Amino acid sequence: MPAGVAAEAAASLALSGPVGGVVGARVLGAVVGHADLLTLDMGGTSADASLVQGGEAREEGSTVVGGVPLALPSVLIETVSAGGGSIAWVDEAGALKVGPRSAGATPGPACFHRGGTEPTVTDACLALGWLDPEWALADTVHLDAKAAERSLEPIARALGGDVPRAASGIVEVATAVMARALKRVSVARGVDPRRLTLVPFGGAGPLFGCALADQLGMRTVLVPPHPGVLSALGLAAAAERVELVAALHRRAGAGERSAVVAAYTELETHAAALLPGAATQRLADCRFTGQGYEITVPLTNGEPDGIEAAFNAAHRARFRHGGVDGPVEIVNVRVVAERPAPAPALGRRVGVGRPTPGWRRMIVRGERVRAQVWPLGELPPRVRITGPAILAGPDATALVETGWRGTVHQSGAVILERA
């Protein structure tokens, strides 16, 4: 949105960073031909799950940020404390936990060698061999494998095992936390994740893609060519957008047509002033009279006459039934004004200084394996990869587990499927 509008409506910018990742996933999905996605952005302190259906990000009529309810339209985001810096600990009952405390960037995980001593998810991944201490995690961050192992020793003693077992337990707990978040944005909303493609991104997300897909029964994982900067790509690709809402509370039907049209006209006039030259779309928040929730539906050809039919179809698609016999109520009218941004160019980069193909020994799900290493983001199209394998990029690392195989797309993305 324009800077002046943002200054007056700062609440509309809440969760913009995570939403940028959802937009980036949608753009990548369109490039490779996958329109229905579950997205998982795993960074340093948290993991953010979301849903894309039919090439469009799932939106909610309201959200809660920092405990404050916002009655504003927003992209669906479910955040959990399962980031690379999330701290592992053992509670009084002897159960292994991950988060909500995080080591953050300063001091960061113990392996960052910046003063941190508590065990984190990143330390566990390094101890398992998923990350290579010979390569910088970023320009100034070099990983210390011995520091990671030292941080994990108290967890190992508390659990009565060794460091690899403790590290395996930490990544298993983190995976379970993220799987619950993915279920809340899919299963809890009547969407079967088995019909979707998982897009894990962020600096740590692709390490957990196969494990998360296994837990949700998904068959396809889409690894971006540069997962660590997908949110930035999404922010650059996002359209300029203004969404205006007005309460109405009227029955859907011919008898209320003039009032509904007048409400849309007023919003469209305001939207044109905020974003001149933008294309507009009319939507309505509807419900069966007496329901406590609404579904947002677009108006067919911009006319209110088909609202009832559109709502009934959307209700059946989401809840697998037509609801109750009764009138349909329009709770809110919405107008979205949008000016598309130029489509970003996706493609592989060559020679960014990552490892050439080789082999690495690691532990995956308690088993020691020998995994082939490939340079993520630099591979030519149609290269086939069989797990176990590591895709090492300049901004993220991906783990291809046993039983999965991948094909490199023209964009540099890797499409993983069950073998």
How many CB atoms sit inside 10 A of residue 341's CB? 14
Q: At 68, which amino acid appears?
A: V
Instruction: Name the E strands within 170-265.
Output: 197-201, 220-223, 240-251
As to burial, measured by CB atoms within 10 angstroms (0-12 exposed, 13-18 middle, 19+ buried), residue 232 is: middle
Question: What token pair was written down for 212?
Answer: 């998360």
Note down pLDDT in tens along the chain; length 419 residues.
Answer: 778 878 888 888 888 889 999 999 999 999 999 999 999 999 988 999 999 999 999 988 677 888 888 877 789 999 999 999 999 999 999 999 999 999 988 899 999 988 999 999 999 999 999 999 988 776 677 899 999 999 999 999 999 999 999 999 999 999 999 999 999 999 998 899 999 999 999 999 999 999 999 999 999 999 999 999 999 999 999 988 888 889 888 888 767 888 899 999 999 999 999 889 999 999 999 998 878 788 889 988 878 888 888 888 888 887 776 666 678 899 999 999 999 888 777 766 655 555 556 899 999 999 999 999 999 998 999 999 999 999 999 889 999 999 999 999 999 999 999 98
As to burial, measured by CB atoms within 10 angstroms (0-12 exposed, 13-18 middle, 19+ buried), residue 321 is: exposed
Calculate helix-pair angle for 230-237, 16-32, nearest 10 degrees.
90
CATH code assigned to 241-339:
3.30.1490
> What's the Rg (C-alpha) of the chain?
23
pTM listed for this prediction: 0.87
H/E stretch holding 284 reads: strand 279-288
Beta bridge mates, 197? 37
* Separation of alpha carbons 218 and 36, rounded Å: 12
Where in the chain are the domains?
14-238+344-419, 241-339
Query: Tokens 């960052």 sit at which residue?
Result: 112
Dihedral angle over CA of 203, 206, 207, 212, nearest 10: 130
Question: What token pair was written down for 160?
Answer: 């009565």
H/E stretch holding 373 reads: strand 367-375
Q: At 412, which amino acid appears?
A: G
Identify whether the C-beta of residue 321 lies closer than 8 Å to the C-beta of residue 291.
no
Q: If you count DSSP H runs as helices and E runs as strands, how many of each does the chain have, helices first? A: 9, 23
Task: Kindly write down the DSSP assignment for every residue of 77-132, as one continuous string.
Answer: -EEES-STTEEEEE-TTS-EEEEEEE-TTTT-SGGG-SS--S-BHHHHHHHTTSS-
